[in-house]
Structure 1
Amino acid sequence: ATIIESVRNEEENVLLVDGGDVFLRGEFQAGQGELETSLLKALDYDAMALGNNDFRVYPAGEGTPDSRYEQLKDYHRNVNFPILTGNVIDRVTGKYIQNVKPWKSFTFSGVKVGMIGLTSMKPEIRGWDDVADLDFIEPVEALNALLPEVSEKSDVNIVLSHAGNPEDHKLAQVPGVSAVIGADTHKVIETPEYEFNGEVMVPITQAGGEQEHYLGRLNLTFEVVDAKMTLVESDGFLYDVTNVPADPEIQAIIDEYRADLKAQF
């Protein structure tokens, strides 16, 4: 929170996003994302992609098809930012999960940035009961299907991915993509990895997770080339969040929740 506030004070065009997995693991998993939701709201996040573990009911793996949306429904009722996942379809309705969008457009000084959310195939591949009625589409296939629609309304396309780093490299090779912000594999990428998509070198980022936690930053510079916005420069790095002075308001939310949880258990 301290770093985010500092960046927002220094920069005009900032998107703050999360790659998912807020429901399971860690000190507060019994709360099923309640604290994480409060923090993401307080930090004024712009978007989040669903992680594979966001489809599971705590305790891990004990959900059923009947309970598959209960956590997500509660989560949707409480967030103040869009949840983006464009490769999961309800087999019954043929539509995206309730209150989940495949993509969203953000505008900076007249430039429209389309952000597409994609998640891992793990829940379907592993046959989790929680997702028995959901169809998980291969991420690259879903991206290729969405890009024409998104590109009609955006000048720049960015992928927010929980598909994992190997899949992120495939996503970055798709023409029309300018950057891939990744998650899932908990990889610490200190400076961006790159793939050429036939147009530009596309940066791929990921800020650890699970054991090693960082705040990732990706800087993207665009210019108009041949009548369209083109990525001409990119760089990135990880903020080490250890020993950073805590934001008092955010620390208070955590302390209060920790005390309440301790009292319950």
Structure 2
Amino acid sequence: MPQTVLYHFLTEVPEAAAIWSALLVLALGVLAVLVARPERDAAAEPPADPAAEEAALRADLRRFADEVAVAAAGARQTARRRREQWLAAQDEADRAWRAYDEADTAARRFTAAGALPAPQTPRTPAEYAARERWLHHAAMTAHWRGDLSARQLADVLAHRNGWDPRRHPAEQEIVLARAVRESRRAGWAAAAERERRAWRDAELAAEAARTLAAEAYAATGALRPAPASEGTPAPAPVPAPAAVAGARWRPARAG
């Protein structure tokens, strides 16, 4: 029996050692191939072209500069349009103020005249009918001029909210002048508010146009070639033009 065990040991152990040796050699060979492959792949890739990378970068900068230039041009147009709207609103506010000033002067004049005693007229149905016709005609005329709103005219025709056709025309003229003054005051206040809003819009549009103009100039400057040497002075930057000049709001008059 001991001889049989010794026989198997002498015959099978060298064979196993040979197999393990072959597997070890194979593993080392595979590992060497894996380690050497990235070097071969890196060697197979072409080297980077600095000129091509620079050209791609300048193309991106050019595209960005063009987009910003288009945006700046649109902002300039918007700022110009907002300024024109503000100037129109300012003219409208000026006209509304003059109309209110005229109405205020007329109301003061009629109020001063109202201190005098009203003329004595017979209180007959015909007189009251004449007074009513006068009031309706005067109110219709004021409405056609734009001095009375449709609701105010309806109040006059319905004889409500202080409109009494039995009053003398001299008294009715004072009441009508005051109503016209208040209507024109409301119109002037609305026009002044529109002017303030238009001025704010113009200021915001002008600021946006100035910002985009500066960005467009900076983007264009990034495309300029660098100076040939350190001793060559760089060109002086050109200031961005103001998008809207003089777009300053003038406060509306206080009445």
TM class, shorter-length: under 0.3
Work out which structure has the larger RCO, using CA pairs closer than 8 Å and 6 or more positions apart in sequence.
2
Query: Would you tell me which structure has more strand in proportion to its own residues?
Result: 1
Q: TM-score, normalised by structure 1?
A: 0.18
